[in-house]
Structure 1
Amino acid sequence: VYQGCANQAPAIRDDAPLNATFNPPAIGENICNSLANKGLVSGATLDDRATEALRIL
């Protein structure tokens, strides 16, 4: 559930060589927004939400 969002976290998004190929940023952003709308992650920005999703994992 959280992986698609967590892949956009600043700490890891540029380290995984195929991350952008298999996890396009637009889809990851949609996943983060959906998780935030459901109250599963919080944060004002995509980076905040993705970092929280990564922490949860």
Structure 2
Amino acid sequence: MGLNGLPSVCFLVAVSLHYSWLANFVWMALISFDICRTINVTTLALSATSKPIETTVFFN
């Protein structure tokens, strides 16, 4: 027996899968945006405050 006699179950599964794919896509996009923003802010802050000569002398 297939799901031919249970259209409501098929519809419920389709809606659940659709929602979960959309939720996962939006969540991954938000996390990617947050990581990108964090890296950019950190890189800008480090480049504004670092002094290459002192850093080079410190590590030598």
Do the structures match in fold with TM over 0.5?
no
Larger radius of gyration between Structure 1 and Structure 2: 2
Q: Which has the higher contact order (CA 8 A, sep 6+)?
A: 1
TM-score by structure 2 length?
0.28
Q: Which has the higher helix share?
A: 2
